[in-house]
Amino acid sequence: MNRVFVSLGSNIDSERNLREAVRRLAASCRLLAVSPVYETAPVGNTEQPNYLNAAALVETELTAAELKERVLQVIEGELGRVRTEDKNAPRTIDLDIALYGDAVLDLGPRHIPDPDILRYPHVAVPLADLAPRLRHPETGQTLAEIVRGLPDVGLRRRENIHSSGDQTTDKE
């Protein structure tokens, strides 16, 4: 089984779409934990609603490519995700593989571990909530150390989107 951290984000009907994405993810994989939700200002195109971001930890027998194509992209499509030229455009749901075990790989244009873990608190903080001592496969830093090194951009913690299962997990 592969342990995978998935980043979730939405700024169109966010609460409903995050809950529904987690429900569908749990139907396709073994859902181990879901982070608290954080409200964040949009990156890039700032003339749009704030985002809600979270992370989920799942176990699956699928490869990273299979998980992306058979589960994440299917859920995005079912929830009305429309891809445009603007990678920062508003969206119903965005599901990305942030960490796939300790693998370092490329899926088309996407790199795993997600480079945004090292850049953006809205990606790193929910992951660190789930596994603060987990080490980044490329830098060796723990997720908690990465978060401490990122700028404080005023993430606002919201309610949890899923109440069953563990809320945190630690892996050294």
Q: What is the CA radius of gyration of the chain?
A: 15
The secondary structure element, H or E, covering residue 38 is strand 36-40
6: CB partners within 8 A, 6+ apart: 25, 55, 56, 57, 58, 72, 95, 96, 97, 98
Who has greater pLDDT, 48 or 120? 120
Q: How confident is the model at residue 156 (pLDDT cuts 50, 70, 90)?
A: confident
Q: What is the pLDDT of residues 73-120, one digit of tens each?
A: 999 999 987 776 666 667 889 999 999 999 999 998 999 999 999 999
Q: Give me 117's structure tokens.
A: 């873990």
Residue found by looking up tokens 């749009």 in the block: 48
Residues with a known catalytic role = 81, 91, 94, 96
pLDDT value at residue 165: 40
Q: What is the pLDDT of residues 158-170, one digit of tens each?
A: 866 654 444 433 3
Percent of the chain whose predicted confidence (pLDDT) is above 90: 70
Residue 61 has pLDDT above 80, yes or no: yes
Beta carbons of 64 and 105 less than 8 angstroms apart: yes
Q: How far is CA 135 from CA 34, 38, 89, 123, 139, in A?
A: 19, 22, 31, 15, 8
Instruction: Give the largest CA-CA distance in the chain.
Output: 41
Q: Cα separation of 134 and 140, whole Å?
A: 9
| CATH architecture label of 2-160 | 2-Layer Sandwich (3.30)
- The type of residue at 147 is V
Q: Where are the domains of the chain?
A: 2-160
Percent of the chain whose predicted confidence (pLDDT) is above 70: 87
